[in-house]
Structure 1
Amino acid sequence: MLRHKAYKFRIYPNREQEILIAKTMGCSRFVYNHFLSLWNEAYTKTGKGLTYHACSAMIPQMKKDEQTIWLQEVDSISLQSSVKNLSDAFSRFFKKQNKRPQFKSKKNPVQSYTTKNVNNSIRIVHHSIKLPKIGLVKFAKSQDPKGRVLNATIRKNASGKYFVSLLLEEDIQPLPKTNSAIGVDLGITDFAILSDGQKIDNHKFTSNMEKRLQREQRKLSRRGLQAKKNGINLLEAKNYQKQKRTVARLPGCPVARKSNESTERLSE
């Protein structure tokens, strides 16, 4: 049975590839915000938005314009994907499935772009992944994907690490049913107690990491306030950005990222 399956790997781009990835993320964000502005203008005047095909047809002309000729430097499919994401967001908005699309900010600690596999432009070669315009990038091959690659999303998180998420079409056979189940009871003395009597210890690791996270966040807040006092933008404050990456790298990444964003809002 053909099904879609996603894989996520950490990638290790070299310096030149990092620069090109940053350019692609910036161009994708620019295209998204540019057409969002046009879309909002059309929606205000007519009560209707634009279409994906109408916006996508404008991209070739933007590449020829002197003010936006730098769009030629990056993967063209990533720009089209950015417009497609905007179109899908507005479709869900008109169906009242989500809020109105918002402009993307370069201050967001997580940046990404998506590209599609066209003529085998995305493929795995031993311990490297070939990406459009980027070329072969080394990656941590923790799994062995088997199937046809549909698209890839390249992401840089708050800690400065790079990841790629691949969507593949694979022939997946369902596992046989065991007709068995087990209950899990979360507790304080024991982390979890299973219905078969097995107990999982409640280690102090989580508590210790919470204390360390709080300590590092206080340091982040102090550096943010000091930068503000000195009139330095947080994006240009090296000590602040270094501490921000330290907080993001702590175990329990979702908690760290959420707390990190709250700290940044307070310091600003």
Structure 2
Amino acid sequence: MLIHQAYKYRIYPKPEQQQLIRRMFGCCRFVFNYFLETWNQSYAKTGKGLSYHDCATQLPLLKAQYDWLKEVDSIALQSTARHVADSFERFFNKQNQAPRFKSRKHPIQSYTTKFTNGNIAIEGSRLKLPKLGWMRFANSRKLEGRIMSATVRQNASGKFFVSLICEVEKNPLPQVDAHIGIDLGLKEYAVCSNGERYANPRFYRQHEKTLAFWQRRMARRTPGGSNWKKAKQHVARIHERIANKRNNFLHQLTTKLIRENQTISIEHLRVASMIQNPKLSKSIADASWGEWVRQLTYKARWYGRILRIADPFEPTSQRCHVCGMIHPEVKNLAVRQWTCIACGTLHDRDENAAHNIAQAAVLPPLTKR
């Protein structure tokens, strides 16, 4: 199966290359805001917006009007025009909110360029990008497949990264005779029906005091000053460290589950509703269940595994998985162990829920089609 896979690397551009990258950020931001304003004006007058073809035909006229647009990668400007059209298409399909104007004050800046005529290449620890030439990068992972595009990004901590989108052939993993149900939680991150348990690392809690210290220092300094910028960068680095640790944990856990099991059953979590709980919202956000489900979903599709989803209204914690009797008193989260009055089985709350998830889960609608 051919899929599009992203390979993210850290790049180390020279000072003159950094200056050119920031110039491309500004030019792409200008083009995006220009076509977004033009789109809004066209929609207000005629009731119709602009297609990508309309934006692409106006781009040469825009470059003739502003000579500094000719100094940057032309393909990146074309990609920006396409992003405007794509963002409105997703908006009308109710996939996201209406696109907004980009700001130079946003902590994350990026632009995307396409592969053509060998303008993107890798040689050992060197990477070639359009208009930038060769630069050093951290070749931490072997690149596979055919390069299609590259996105250059500067994050809030000031580091530069590139994401290379490649067309890769994925083969299914060898089939195994294993089916598990997984119950996600906060006390323990995941409890499986086969008895395996994975502790909740709570990465945000590990750095919470250090983060609060630097946030207080930033709040006491004059906004926009050099010391304020230093403190802001410290805060960004702490957030980046938390995100990297969490992402690494999620990838290791989901990859292990995909490799060892043929069928995986999980519960449909309404995270947006659960995070409204003021006592648990910080812990739920730290657990990042939505990202865990997203990674498990696309890895199951890549490697030929079956992912089943249990209904959110299924009483998985209250039902005895041995005899099927429901015990409403188990709704209390403080009850961690209980004995079924019908069959006398002693249950661990999370492990019993994992067994019920394995029994009640079904294939999602998209998988059935």
TM-score range, shorter chain: 0.7 to 0.9
- Structure 2 residue aligned with 1:100: 98
Structure 1, 138-147 or 35-44: larger mean CA deviation: 138-147
Structure 1, 151-160 or 190-199: larger mean CA deviation: 190-199
Shift of 1:184: 5.4
Shift of 1:208: 3.9
Does residue 199 of structure 2 align to residue 249 of structure 1?
no
TM value normalised by structure 2: 0.61
Shift of 1:216: 1.0
CA–CA separation in structure 2 for the residues paired with 1:103 and 1:254: 28
Shift of 1:127: 1.1
For the residue of structure 2 that corresponds to 1:113, the secondary structure is strand
CA–CA separation in structure 2 for the residues paired with 1:253 and 1:241: 21
What are structure 2's unaligned runs of at least 5 residues?
246-281, 283-369
Taking only aligned residues, the RMSD between alpha carbons, in angstroms, comes to: 2.4
The letter of the residue matching 1:248 is A
CA–CA separation in structure 1 for the residues paired with 2:33 and 2:200: 47
Deviation by residue 1:153-207 (Cα, 9 ceiling, x = unmatched): 1100000001111110122211112232455566777666555555556678753
- Structure 2 residue aligned with 1:45: 45
- Structure 2 residue aligned with 1:152: 150
- Structure 1 residue aligned with 2:120: 122
Shift of 1:137: 1.9
TM value normalised by structure 1: 0.82
Shift of 1:92: 2.1
Does residue 151 of structure 2 align to residue 161 of structure 1?
no
Structure possessing the higher radius of gyration over alpha carbons: 2
Distance 1:174 1:192, change over 3 A: closer
Higher relative contact order (CA 8 A, sep 6+): 1
- Structure 1 residue aligned with 2:64: 64
CA–CA separation in structure 2 for the residues paired with 1:16 and 1:46: 45
CA–CA separation in structure 2 for the residues paired with 1:21 and 1:153: 11
Distance 1:4 1:207, change over 3 A: closer
Distance 1:183 1:96, change over 3 A: closer
Deviation by residue 1:11-48 (Cα, 9 ceiling, x = unmatched): 11110110010000110000000011111000001110
What pairs up with 1:1-268 in 2 under 5 angstroms? 1-65=1-65, 68-182=66-180, 195-197=193-195, 207-223=205-221, 226-227=222-223, 234=224, 237-250=225-238, 251-253=241-243
Paired residues, number? 244
Distance 1:200 1:91, change over 3 A: closer
Distance 1:94 1:184, change over 3 A: closer
CA contact (8 A) 2:12 2:135 kept: yes
For the residue of structure 2 that corresponds to 1:149, the secondary structure is strand
The letter of the residue matching 1:160 is G
For the residue of structure 2 that corresponds to 1:58, the secondary structure is helix
CA–CA separation in structure 2 for the residues paired with 1:170 and 1:184: 30
The letter of the residue matching 1:109 is P
What are structure 1's unaligned runs of at least 5 residues?
228-233, 260-268
The letter of the residue matching 2:173 is L
Distance 1:218 1:116, change over 3 A: same
CA–CA separation in structure 1 for the residues paired with 2:173 and 2:52: 40
Structure 1, 32-41 or 169-178: larger mean CA deviation: 169-178
CA–CA separation in structure 1 for the residues paired with 2:213 and 2:72: 41
